[in-house]
Amino acid sequence: MATLTVCLTLLSVFVSAHLPSAHASSPGKNFDNIVVIAMENQPYSTILGDGTNDANCPLMFLCSMLPYSATILQYNGYGQGIDTGCSADCYFALTTGTTGVSDQWCNSGNCQSVANIAGDLGLTTALYCENACPRQSDHYPFYGYTDTYSQALAGFTCTSCTEPTTSFGQLLNTANSENPPQFVWFTPTDCHNMHGDDSNCPNDSTDCNTSGCPTAGDNYLKQMLVGSGGTIQSPASGSLLASSLFSSGHRTLLMIWWDECGSSSSGSCDSTNDTPNIFYGPNAGVKEGYVCTTTNCNGSDEYNILKMIEDNFGVNCLVNDCNSNDLADLFTGTNTYTLSFQGFDYDGANEETLTLNNQQLIQLPAVDSPQNGGVYVNFTVDMTPLVVTGTNTLVFTHANSDCGVTDTTRNVQITNGAGTIIFSDPTERPLDCTHSITYTFNV
């Protein structure tokens, strides 16, 4: 059993997220929820070919995901000194931003504390390890961190199942809950995570010996994500992608992550340790059918993924991730929203209050501004934190302290990050104590 030591991780922030926080209702930059499925030990080409769903793509289901997903062709699971031949060190790097552990797991001299941000983010979490988590913290890092240990134990999906048993029902229940967590982690057993090669199991099932093969892992992921009779475009009822978490009302990113390349009889790693990866999120602005080979992606590693999560949710960086880019090239960049308009006689401090979806967006102007009296002034407001998928309601109201004056608003326009105008209303509209102004728009 791995040694339990006192160390805090980025994901401890998510566990601490059940506490109230000013950030709790704010969505992320590109995605509001993320689901991580942790796979094992395969070269990129063995799993995804060249990253396109062509005739040479090896695995039927995962390759069918590629036209709807983004992937990094030269992702290096051993980047920046991460231990070669890892399991534990790769997981440790992804969740703490540093290295220095072996498969015996974390020792206190190498644990990096992020206690200064724990409880401040306000995100919720669900951490699962399939069955009784036979590899423990070697493949499930939260088992080895004091602050997530008790929740990690509760996340075992079945404490008495035998190794080949498929057990992800709790994950599906979580994804269909009324308020799904913002960070979800799932570690399959070695039967299902592709830890072995094709000599270990039949090609047409999810069964295996002690180390699952790529084909069994592919079948397993299909059963979990879309159901035995489903597809990416039409997932079957009861599957993860048919859950409410992946409905149009949620901007959810699915990340299927392999800890390392791991040469085997299934294939060999190239000189850059080309580790597989898939990023799927039709409502999260993920570029579809995109094989990223830009400088932003080539040679990226666990720290880049950690930085992507941190930047999305507005979390401070930890250690080695601080010098990493955030993999922005995987996203369309359209999930930012800017409001621009002209206000007449907006001259008193906090005279006009703007709410979006029943939450205060801003009060204008921030201070007394006599220069705005009797003239139209241009205003620009970042709406991104409060925009939701679907219908949005923007309301302008006038302060009771200024009831004797009618102000005016015109040329209201909302644009996304790509510069596309998604709403426009040039009409002059009165704004006073008895007349608010309401606009609705869809994203």
CA 169, chain centre distance (Å): 21
Look at residue 3 and tell me whether its pLDDT is greater than 90. no
Q: Highest mean pLDDT range out of 104-118, 162-176, 241-255? A: 241-255
Structure tokens at 209: 């010996």
Cis geometry, peptide bond prior to residue 385 (ω within 30 degrees of 0):
no
Residue 281 and residue 246: Cα distance in Å, rounded?
8
* DSSP summary character for residue 311: H
Cβ–Cβ < 8 Å for 315, 13: yes
Residue 152's pLDDT is 73
Sequence-distant (6+) residues with CB within 8 A of 353 are 360, 362, 363, 396, 397, 399
Q: Which of 274, 278, 275, 298 is nearest to 288 (CA)?
A: 278
Residue 198's pLDDT is 62
Half-sphere exposure of 326 (CA within 13 A, CB side): 17
Q: Which of 406, 372, 391 is nearest to 438 (CA)?
A: 391
Cβ–Cβ < 8 Å for 275, 281: no
Residue 53 and residue 406: Cα distance in Å, rounded?
60
CA 281, chain centre distance (Å): 9
pLDDT digits (tens, 9 = 90+) for 151-162: 677 788 888 887
Q: Highest mean pLDDT range out of 78-82, 270-274, 307-311? A: 307-311
Residue 100's pLDDT is 66
Strands 437-442 and 376-382: unpaired
Residue 361 to residues 120, 354, 381, 419, 422, Cα–Cα distance (Å): 20, 5, 9, 21, 19
Residue 86's pLDDT is 82
Cβ–Cβ < 8 Å for 37, 255: yes
